[in-house]
Amino acid sequence: MGYKILLVDDDTELVKMLSKYFERKKYRVITAQNGKEAIEKLQTAPDIILLDINMPQMDGLEVCRKIRDKISCPILFLTARVEEEDRVNGLLSGGDDYILKPFSLKELDARITAHLKREQRHSQNTEFRFHGELCIDYGQKNVQINEEIIEFTKLEYEIIELLSMHPGQVFDKERIYEITCGYEAEGDSRVITELIRRIRKKLGNYSDIEYIETVWGMGYKWKK
């Protein structure tokens, strides 16, 4: 069998349809109908999670916040919500992507494939890079200052990885979002502003050095 997908949705017909589709694609599909069951199914070590937002008792955003520190695999939200605030909250809670219901199976398949390929590239990257007292381990996906590991969310880390691997290069907010999230980012650039603020605050708790520089009117860059 191929990659494992954890599919979390209380719509039983949708779950049946998606399970049948992805099993034909040689995925192993593990299903859960609510947040509590999804947390229990983490022991199966999924490679990617498809997570409905609008579920009773514990919605998808709360599930994501509870599990994000326990797993590093991509989390894709399935939702009928279209408000920008919902997309922002979802990504800040630790999600990696959004796909709106009703959706095309081919589009969902393409999004999943893109995220899994990105994860595979990251896992093959074992390079260390030092920036003074800061060390980034691209294989283990962690950041240390003076050998103290700093906790970052998945998206926060990916922003650090992108900028630090291209020191001095300016990336605008839309481009950062597109690269780290893997799809068109129109209307969501303020997510990057908030994530950069969080990254700076966390780094600032361990060092007085400013690693990420704002280039006004253009974007952000990693200082050489």
The four Cα atoms 78, 84, 85, 88 give a dihedral, to 10 degrees, of 70
What pLDDT is stored for residue 145 in this prediction?
Answer: 93
Query: Quick check: 3 and 116 in contact, CB under 8 A?
Result: yes
Q: Is the pLDDT of residue 206 over 90?
A: yes
Q: Which amino acid is at 179?
A: I
Q: Tell if the pTM clears 0.85, that is, is over it.
A: no
Q: Is the pLDDT of residue 221 over 60?
A: yes
Q: 60-102 pLDDT, tens per residue? A: 999 998 888 778 889 999 888 666 666 777 777 888 888 888 8
Q: Name the 3-class secondary structure at 73.
A: coil
What pLDDT is stored for residue 109 in this prediction?
Answer: 93
pLDDT band at 188 (very low <50, low <70, confident <90, very high): low
Q: Which amino acid is at 175?
A: R
CA 205 centroid distance within chain: 23
Cα(176)–Cα(181) distance, rounded to whole angstroms? 8
**Mutual orientation of helices 84-92 and 189-204 as an angle, nearest 10°?**
30
pLDDT band at 37 (very low <50, low <70, confident <90, very high): very high
What pLDDT is stored for residue 171 in this prediction?
Answer: 94
Q: 118-136 pLDDT, tens per residue? A: 777 666 555 777 887 899 9
pLDDT band at 187 (very low <50, low <70, confident <90, very high): very low
Cα(163)–Cα(105) distance, rounded to whole angstroms? 33
Other CB atoms within 10 Å distance of the CB of residue 78: 23
Task: Name the residue with tokens 């069951």.
Answer: 37
Q: Is the pLDDT of residue 185 over 60?
A: no
Q: 140-153 pLDDT, tens per residue? A: 888 999 889 999 98
